[in-house]
Amino acid sequence: MDLLEYQGKELFARHGLPVPKGVHASTVDAAVTASETLGYPVAVKAQVLIGGRGKAGGIKIAQDSTEAHEYAGEIIGMDIVGPHGEGPFKVHELWVEAGSEIESEFYASVILDRSAKKLMVMLSRMGGMDVEAIAASDPEALVKQHVDPITGLGEDEARQIAARAKIPEQVAGEVANVLVQLVEVAQAEDATLIEVNPLIVNSDGEVILLDAKVTIDGNSLYRHPELEELPESADQDPQEAMARERGLTYVSLDGNIGILGNGAGLCMSTLDVVAQAGGRPANFLDAGGGSKAEAIIDALEVITSNPEVSAILFNIFGGITRCDEVARGIIEATGKIGLELPLVVRLDGTNSEEGLALLAEAGLSNLHHEATMLGAARKVVELAGN
Amino acid sequence: MSIIIDNDTKLVVSGLTGREGSFHGLRNRDYGTQLVAGVTPGKGGQDVEGTPVFNTIAESVDEAGANTSMIFVPAKFAAAAINEAIDSGVETVIAITEGIPVMDMLPTYWKAREKGVRLIGPNCPGVLSPGKANVGIIPAQFFDQGRIGVVSKSGTLTYQIGNELKQAGEGNSTIVGIGGDPIVGSDFIDILTLFEADDETDMIVMVGEIGGDAEEKAAEFIAAEISKPVVAYIAGFTAPPGKQMGHAGAIISGSSGTAQAKQEALEAKGVRVGESPTEAAQIAVEILGSL
Ligand SMILES: Nc1ncnc2c1ncn2[C@@H]1O[C@H](COP(=O)(O)OP(=O)(O)O)[C@@H](O)[C@H]1O
Ligand SMILES: [Mg+2]
């Protein structure tokens, strides 16, 4: 789960880390009121789940209420495309915060290094630019250090990291403290990524976390009720939102072939095989062990709520899941939601013969059975059209 | 010989008194696995269809001779159960539980390494040595006994490939589900090492997916250390970056962890990669025939 900048900063503030004072606003008027309360200059910042907002024009410094009004109006409703072409993300909310006078910009992050099976701290005195750009332009300037999984990051060690990154002496102690605390925040809040870019020194010599990019491990939310209750970003994909409410594992894609598979691996593989057959998958949906009619109704309702979908592929390899149960679910679900789109079904594995017999008996005119995954992929591509 | 589990496996199941734990634990017993104990704190002295239940894993080691532990405990308590298993004296811990927070798994991973206990999973379907033992939720009917070792991040994809091998008349020495989480106890490299040393394994099928760099590291390792033929399949070529595709670990971050990069890394080291599970199985059958 990715946090918006302001949510990340609120998290930092709860842990006593220094962030600018700010106010959340979703209208121009609210942004102006917030600016007046904070006092000028203020930074008016687009809240979308992507970096590079500054370059894209989603961050402006307002010196007075006229500017605050003007910038808030420009930024709300704007589409922001990420540095790697992600999005576009439409701006629905703003974070208005006290403007800082920036003396220097550093880069600090804590990430889960899957390869090393440890947390890794990164620090650079070249902040404000993309970390990949730092690494490319001057690899020496990006200091990386793994965190001991048992003892964590000690103060002395953090000091050494700051020294290696050539952080100026006057603020090195403060920056080291921030690193130690960021590791503690990652551990306490189950964050697999915390990126602060820039970490600044202002004209008063204070160290401040000016940006926040935080990813929380979705498996840990049961122990972070305050994060679980955060409002969802308004720019959510409607099918993904609907699927989440129903507890389905669903990802929207931009094609026209609805996909339902069982098991994450088989489902990913189904997307690939459909693409190889020349088709464009509309989604990833892992039905897991959910073979019961209700689960299939839920899944089909989500898939068909996407108006792009023109045909659906069911790829089931029953292990513990029994194919006769899946077949019953398909028959009941198509009846209940009045599904008319072509439905290609591949049922293999446990009780597949019983399942196929049930489907044949039901005689659904829009249902096509295929024996193999490849055959099913080709069939659904043919039926879906372009 | 097979790897990890065999006729000498003496299994203790943490969570045997739960619904899932008893269903799968007893299925494993029906398959022929020696199920010697269950563990549920506070339920010591009871039994599940004749299998004794202990309060702790250590007691099951002392009193029932358990040497392999299976963890079927809800995610909230699973890391603690794995830690208990690591300290109990068993040699192998197989963790089926899905949804364990990664911050819990980091210290647990290192604890297992330090104590020299083999940890498989979490978020995995378990291990099956056809004809010998089954520990986990792998449906054994789709696999025959044979000479192909399988190591995979995904359950259903493994069943798909195993079944295709079976239909082609081939079978498996051992099937190992390593799990789909970002941090798992054993990676491809650990299992490839075991298959390389196993005299009942002639070749290996490796099933990977997007996320992390375990496949890339395996490619390097295969080139340097593995003499047996390896065939691979990778899922997730159509996955968009930044989206978690079902498994907690199946996510492309920025430009790293793509299926394309994994395929290229493997092919660069001479590992053939099937375009589909079917093709991977066909290549495996072809190679085995030529050995
Ligand atoms: N509160 C602020 N005061 C002054 N300048 C700011 C403030 N917030 C952001 N900026 C400037 O805007 C740049 C981009 O902001 P940041 O929050 O890092 O967004 P992004 O990384 O998405 O572009 C910063 O590097 C900084 O120069
Ligand atoms: Mg930034």
In the prediction, which pLDDT does A235 show? Answer: 61
Q: Do A268 and B152 touch (CB under 8 A)?
A: no
Give residue A320's pLDDT band: very low, low, confident or very high (50, 70, 90).
confident
Question: Relative to the CA of A100, which ligand 1 atom is closest?
Answer: 3
Q: What is the set of active-site residues of A?
A: 107, 195
Give residue B69's pLDDT band: very low, low, confident or very high (50, 70, 90).
very high
Nearest CA in chain A to B244: A251
The continuous run of DSSP H or E covering A13 comes out as helix A5-14
Nearest CA in chain B to A286: B246
Q: Do A268 and B235 touch (CB under 8 A)?
A: yes
Q: Catalytic residue among B24, B29, B132, B247, which?
A: B247
Q: What is the mean pLDDT of residues B46-70?
A: 97
Q: Do B180 and A222 touch (CB under 8 A)?
A: no
Residue A137 near residue A119, CB atoms below 8 Å: no
Q: What is the mean pLDDT of residues B6-11?
A: 98
Q: Do A271 and B238 touch (CB under 8 A)?
A: yes
In the prediction, which pLDDT does A291 show? Answer: 61
Ligand approaching nearest to the C-alpha of A59: 1
Give residue A114's pLDDT band: very low, low, confident or very high (50, 70, 90).
very high
Distance from Cα A105 to the centre of ligand 1, integer Å: 10
In the prediction, which pLDDT does A234 show? Answer: 59
Question: Relative to the CA of A56, which ligand 1 atom is closest?
Answer: 23
pLDDT (tens digit per residue) in B278-287: 999 999 999 9
Q: What is the mean pLDDT of residues A37-47?
A: 97
What does the DSSP assignment read for A292-361?
SHHHHHHHHHHHHTSTT--EEEEEEEESSS-HHHHHHHHHHHHHHHT--S-EEEEEEETTHHHHHHHHHH
The one-character DSSP state at B239 is P
Scanning A114-143 for CB atoms below 8 A from B yields: 114-115, 117-119, 132
Q: Residue B176: CB partners within 8 Å, gap ≥ 6?
A: B3, B4, B120, B127, B149, B150, B151, B152, B186, B191
pLDDT (tens digit per residue) in B72-121: 999 999 999 999 999 999 999 999 999 999 999 999 999 999 999 999 99
Residue among A252, A320, A353 with most chain B CBs within 10 A, to mutate: A320
Measured between beta carbons, the chain A residues lying within 8 angstroms of B109 are 117, 149
Q: What percent of chain A has pLDDT over 70?
A: 98
Joined together, the tokens standing for residue B15 give 């969570």
β-strand partners of B207: B152, B233
Q: Do A276 and B159 touch (CB under 8 A)?
A: no
Measured between beta carbons, the chain A residues lying within 8 angstroms of B75 are 219, 222
Residue B157 near residue B177, CB atoms below 8 Å: no
From the list A264, A275, A317, which residue is nearest B237 (CB)? A275
Ligand 1 in contact with A22 (CB < 6 A)?
A: no
Rounded Cα gap, residues A70 and B31, in angstroms: 72
Q: Do B246 and A373 touch (CB under 8 A)?
A: no
Choosing from A81, A107, A197, A210 the residue with most ligand 1 atoms within 8 A of its CB, the one to mutate for a pocket test is: A210
Question: With an 8 Å Cβ cutoff, is A372 touching chain B?
Answer: yes
In the prediction, which pLDDT does A120 show? Answer: 98
Distance from Cα A190 to the centre of ligand 1, integer Å: 25
From the list A217, A263, A276, which residue is nearest B103 (CB)? A217
Q: What is the mean pLDDT of residues A299-307?
A: 94
The continuous run of DSSP H or E covering A196 comes out as strand A191-202
The pLDDT of residue A290 is above 60: no
Residue B155's Cα: distance from chain center in Å?
A: 9
Give residue A289's pLDDT band: very low, low, confident or very high (50, 70, 90).
low
Residue among B115, B159, B184, B188 with most chain A CBs within 10 A, to mutate: B159
pLDDT (tens digit per residue) in A230-284: 876 656 788 998 998 888 899 999 999 999 999 999 999 999 999 999 999 999 9
Q: What percent of chain A has pLDDT over 90?
A: 77
Q: Do A217 and B212 touch (CB under 8 A)?
A: no
pLDDT (tens digit per residue) in B187-237: 999 999 999 999 999 999 999 999 999 999 999 999 999 999 999 999 999
pLDDT (tens digit per residue) in B171-201: 999 999 999 999 999 999 999 999 999 999 9
Ligand 1 in contact with A99 (CB < 6 A)?
A: yes
Tell me the one-letter amino acid at B237.
F
Distance from Cα A80 to the centre of ligand 2, integer Å: 14
In the prediction, which pLDDT does A293 show? Answer: 75
Nearest to B213 by CA among B251, B178, B244, B156: B251
From the list A217, A249, A281, which residue is nearest B101 (CB)? A217
pLDDT (tens digit per residue) in B115-152: 999 999 999 999 999 999 999 999 999 999 999 999 99
Residue B217 near residue B188, CB atoms below 8 Å: yes
Helix (H, G, I), strand (E, B) or coil at A277: coil
Residue B109 near residue B119, CB atoms below 8 Å: yes
Residue B185: half-sphere exposure toward Cβ, Cα within 13 Å: 30
pLDDT (tens digit per residue) in A139-166: 888 999 999 988 899 999 999 999 999 9
Rounded Cα gap, residues A183 and A175, in angstroms: 13
Average pLDDT, chain A: 93
Length of chain B as a residue count = 291
